[in-house]
Amino acid sequence: MAVRDDNRYVVTFEAYVYASNDYMARKRAHAVNDSINAIMNVQDSEVMDIVEQPFGTLGNRKLDDISKPRDKDEDKPLPF
């Protein structure tokens, strides 16, 4: 829990996530974000952007969908 005398700071992180496809990149990015949110005195971190940046190239590709992938168990057929 934060102490009343503590100051609040906005911290920007950038990291490389290696994945075989866009889905796995989103999944890994959000897993890292969940780990950050689990740290004491850290709250409300979010994935702001995911960009594919192949090694040794100048170009990149911004992902249109950066939402957190749903767990496949949540997509089970309804019982009725």
Residues 13-30 pLDDT 10s: 888 999 999 999 999 999
Residue 45 is encoded by which pair of tokens?
């971190």
Is residue 36, in this structure, part of any structural domain at all? yes
- Count CB neighbours of 29 within 10 A: 21
Q: Which domain holds residue 33?
A: 22-68
Give which of 55, 61, 34, 60 is closest to 45, Cα–Cα.
34
What is the predicted pLDDT for the residue at 61? 92
Amino acid, res. 64? D
Q: CA angle, 15 as apex, 47 and 34 as ends, to 5°?
A: 45
- Structural domains in the chain (count): 1
Is residue 26, in this structure, part of any structural domain at all? yes
Instruction: Please tell me whether the overall predicted TM-score, pTM, comes out greater than 0.85 for this model.
Output: no
Is residue 16, in this structure, part of any structural domain at all? no
CA dist 62 and 45 (Å) reads: 20
CA dist 36 and 10 (Å) reads: 13
